[in-house]
Structure 1
Amino acid sequence: MATPAMQLDVQGIEVRLSSPDKIYFEDLGISKLDLANYAMSVGDGFLAGLRRRPTTLERWPGGVREGMKLTTRADGKGDAFYQKRAPEKRPDWVDVAEITFPSGRTATAITPSNLATIVWAVNLGTLRFHPWPVTAPRVDLVDQLRIDLDPQPGTDFGDAVGAALELRQVMGELGLESYPKTSGGRGVHVFCMIEPVPFVVARHAVIAIGRELAHRMPEKVTVEWWKELRGQRIFVDFNQMARDRLMASPYSVRPVPQARVSAPLTWDELPDVRPDDFTVVTMPQRYREHGDVWAPLYASKPQSIDPALRLYELGLEQGLTDMPYPPEYPKMPGEPPRVQPSRQRKID
């Protein structure tokens, strides 16, 4: 018999948790209540990564089971789904803001301002939280530069770490103090706080940084958007800096049997860790011992990306162009043909 719903006191706010004993990760026996307790155990750090940021919820209401899949644009069927719009029925302490999608359509998104909102979302089956790199109410100005180092087939987390360490050097030379975290999978994410700029401008900065990194590590790193050109290299996914793209927040839970989490790290410890070191089971102890190691990121002074933009402009002078946008975007100014090279050759 299922356990009745219960009320959790989350920093003075009562949050209803239905079916608290419902299992979400079978191999580990992790229940919905365990996930709520996990979120509260890392609460200040979890909230710091989401605070007032429009956030897409990745909901797995049936838990994580073998064979379950996430609904995508290409396949409208699945067991889990992304929720970009705030639920119409929500507590009055769940803050929201209006956002604009690449199509020009608008929507109301949640912008967490308290830990109770995170626990409320966990009750909806949310595992991963995907915050935009903007802060309400200035939702069209990027204030957090994010670089996604994505291992391609034939590469692994160790390769991403090597690229991240060199990336730190590149960004440092451009006056950007950066902070790494695991993605929860095989990749590494690198963040820094910046002076607010439009999305297109922030994306150009990431393209320039990615190109410089690929120039220094041509056998190991690529910025090629088309998969057929990437090879066995780490891909700098510059389009994660475009509007309405998804990147897991620190402490988000990845929907894999190990219940890995996206773990904020210091640069000193990055070379010695593995993604499996950080799970719903292990992270609370780490947090008790070290707190949120990304607290210095949030306290840091916003930095100018002008040096990175000068690097981007230099590339244009040398014959480089902007890069293709994601397929759901309208044609963007200065964008090259959005056709993969092999197909372009056939057309020619």
Structure 2
Amino acid sequence: MTPITEVEGRRIALSNLDKVLYPATGTTKGELLHYCASVSGPLLAHLENRPVSFLRFPDGPAGQRFFTKNPPPGTPAWVKTAEVPRSEDKAARQVVVSDLATLMWAANLVVEFHTPQWRADAPALADRLVLDLDPGEPASVVECCEVAGWLRDRLAADGLEAYAKTSGSKGLHLLSALEPTPSEQVSAYAKTLAKEAEAALPGLVTHKMAKALRPGKVFVDFSQNAAAKTTATPYTVRAKERPTVSAPVSWAEVESCAAPDDLVFLIGDIGPRLDRDGDLLAPLLDPDEAGRLP
């Protein structure tokens, strides 16, 4: 029998809590839901007012995975949705995770959370910039950290403060808070930065996606600034072999990274990090911290 839990006055069916989702660590679905509840403060802050896309993996990372932007079948009527543009002549609705009840309902579906760089009430007006640093083997997050340092200084030269988080996979994400800016302008600026990074670090960086160009280099992916694109939300758990988290990291951690495992964080690591450091990405949520593109 599926247990019913009441969260903030909403009745939610939580299913298969003993199901092992991550055999490598023995992590169960119940433990995954407990993690989401325990980090709900900062996780909800970064999900707030952003239409969510779900990468669902109900049978664990080794099972079927599918990406959906539409509200899943059976979405409760009380779950908030927002109209979002899909093309010039069409619009659709997507879930907005606005409270703990919605978060736990979504977590029960077993999902990664992915969000755009804009808010639901201002489509295609980005309030943050993102650069996804993706290493091509044999490069790793160690090389990403070297590139991140260069990009941090380059952004600072334009008056933008950069913050870092792990992708929860192999790479690193850099983010900066912006005054609302059309996504096309942010994308163009991000592409310029990627090209400049390649020119400055030609043996280490490529700004092109072609796989043939990427072995041993860091691909600076600027494309996630496009209005139609999304990025793994801070604190989301990834559908990887282990329950890795897209975790905020300090610049001291970036600068001292000597091996890939130095910047791998599992769900059990995040609570102690929040207790010690708070949300390292909190400045992204402060309008007073927002910068302006040159």
- The answer to whether residue 226 in structure 2 is matched with residue 239 in structure 1 is no
Residue aligning to 1:36: 33
Distance 2:61 2:23 in 1: 8
Q: Structure 1 residues 100, 266: CA separation in 2 closer, same or farther (over 3 Å shift)?
A: same
**1:210 maps to which of 191, 194, 199:** 194
Tell me how far 1:106 sits from its aligned partner: 2.3
Letter aligned with residue 188 of structure 2: H
Letter aligned with residue 84 of structure 1: K
Q: Structure 1 residues 215, 289: CA separation in 2 closer, same or farther (over 3 Å shift)?
A: same
Contact 1:22 1:32 in 2 (8 A): yes
* TM-score normalised over the length of structure 1: 0.78
Tell me how far 1:155 sits from its aligned partner: 0.9
Number of residue-to-residue matches in the alignment? 290
**2:118 maps to which of 134, 146, 156:** 134
SS of residue paired to 1:49: helix
More moved, 55-64 vs 241-250: 241-250
Show the 5 A alignment for 1:158-307.
Answer: 158-273=142-257, 274=261, 277-299=264-286, 300-305=288-293, 307=294
Contact 1:38 1:280 in 2 (8 A): yes
Q: Structure 1 residues 34, 212: CA separation in 2 closer, same or farther (over 3 Å shift)?
A: same
Distance 1:58 1:149 in 2: 20
Residue aligning to 1:106: 91
Q: Structure 1 residues 269, 275: CA separation in 2 closer, same or farther (over 3 Å shift)?
A: closer
Q: Structure 1 residues 212, 104: CA separation in 2 closer, same or farther (over 3 Å shift)?
A: farther
Distance 2:144 2:7 in 1: 37
Deviations 1:60-92 (A, max 9, x none): 111233xx3xxxxxxxxxx11011111353234
What is the percent sequence identity of the aligned residues? 33
Contact 2:135 2:214 in 1 (8 A): no
Contact 2:166 2:263 in 1 (8 A): no
Show the 5 A alignment for 1:47-62.
Answer: 47-62=44-59
More moved, 106-115 vs 219-228: 219-228
Residue aligning to 2:70: 85
Deviations 1:273-317 (A, max 9, x none): 546641012222222333322112212432111x1xxxxxxxxxx
Tell me how far 1:37 sits from its aligned partner: 0.6
Contact 1:222 1:234 in 2 (8 A): yes
Contact 2:48 2:96 in 1 (8 A): yes
The structure that has the greater radius of gyration is: 1
Distance 2:37 2:273 in 1: 14
SS of residue paired to 2:43: helix
Residue aligning to 2:106: 121
SS of residue paired to 1:97: strand
- Normalized per residue, the structure richer in strand is 2
* TM-score normalised over the length of structure 2: 0.91
Structure 1 unmatched runs, 5+: 69-78, 308-348
Letter aligned with residue 61 of structure 2: V
More moved, 110-119 vs 10-19: 10-19
SS of residue paired to 1:27: coil
Contact 2:177 2:289 in 1 (8 A): yes
Contact 1:99 1:107 in 2 (8 A): yes
Tell me how far 1:225 sits from its aligned partner: 3.4
Letter aligned with residue 216 of structure 1: A
Tell me how far 1:104 sits from its aligned partner: 4.9
More moved, 294-303 vs 11-20: 11-20
Residue aligning to 1:344: none
Distance 2:231 2:11 in 1: 29
Distance 1:11 1:192 in 2: 33
Q: Structure 1 residues 105, 153: CA separation in 2 closer, same or farther (over 3 Å shift)?
A: farther
Letter aligned with residue 199 of structure 1: S
Contact 1:184 1:275 in 2 (8 A): no
